[in-house]
Chain A
Amino acid sequence: MSDPDAEARALVAGHGDFAAGIVSAVGQITGRGDAFVPLSNRDMSAADVERAMREQVDARGLEVIFTDLPAGSCTMAARRLQRERPNIVLVTGTNLATLLDFVFHTDVPAVEAARHAADKGRAALVVTGGSTGGH
């Protein structure tokens, strides 16, 4: 169950339904999907993405932005915001493990939780199998 009184602590932005999908997954696993505000860049210009991001960050006082792809327009928009507001932390290459770690670290400031979450997300990428030994 989501906590109706919970406040969002970060923006999640990406291509297509990436943000809505990954936030939905966080909700299914932890019940804390409301910790994030999802944003899609679908059919938006770079200026539109930046404007939408700025509105959410300002309205909710967010200091953490998660994006999907380093080359993406959401990441570019977040970096432009960072120029005005150096306090904002941007994590790009976000995966589910990143966001799951973030929601469980409510005892530290969001920017600190974001850095910890990035480490977790990086470590969660694992490849197994695919043996070419042929035996």
Chain B
Amino acid sequence: MAIELFRIDDRLIHGQVVVGWGQPLDLTFIVLVDDEVASSEWEQELYRMGVPPEMDVHFHSVGEAAEKLTAYQRDERRGALLTGDIETMARLIELTGTIARVNLGGIHHRTGRTQRLRYVFLAPDEEQALRSLAARGIDVSAQDVPAARPLALSEVLSGEGNR
């Protein structure tokens, strides 16, 4: 599979993704799925400046990403797909049905969210959305960097991941 990492991270492209995951996984492209970024040249330029020149970045709305995902999954290169929130990833999964594993990489504090891990805070509807993904057989786990132990969704929601 050419998409090695399907990650939910509200920082989208940043150090953990480009360097922390990018180097050990030998990532050479990133698919950034975000309706707002996909409609803003300025936002795209901002994120493009954050990656090394040998790494390609593709910006798509959820609908566009759904149409192109199969092609990315067949790409000979290794890539990562990023969304900034759970809802976007859930919509993409709903439209494609070809995503087997989701990484929770950074969902930070916001009003209405409860802390589950140092880097994962969830609102009730977000928790439910993750439970729904898991119920349909998708492997949902939290892992901010490759050297950390991946925590299953059950560990995240039960608070075991904080012990």
Contact = CB atoms under 8 A, between A and B. Distances in A.
A46 interface: yes
B109 interface: yes
Contacts of A27: none
B131 interface: no
Interface string B94-138: 000000000000101110000000110000000000000000000
Contacts of B52: 71
A46 B10 contact: yes
B44 to A, nearest CB: 12
B50 A71 contact: yes
A120 interface: no
Contacts of B14: 46, 71-73, 76
A59 to B, nearest CB: 22
Contacts of A122: none
Contact of B15 (A43, A48, A69): A69
A128 interface: no
A75 B42 CA distance: 15
Nearest to B107: A45
Interface of B: 10-15, 17-19, 42, 46-47, 49-52, 106, 108-110, 118-119
14 contacts: A43-B118, A43-B119, A45-B10, A45-B108, A45-B110, A47-B10, A48-B108, A71-B13, A71-B18, A71-B50, A71-B52, A72-B15, A75-B50, A76-B47
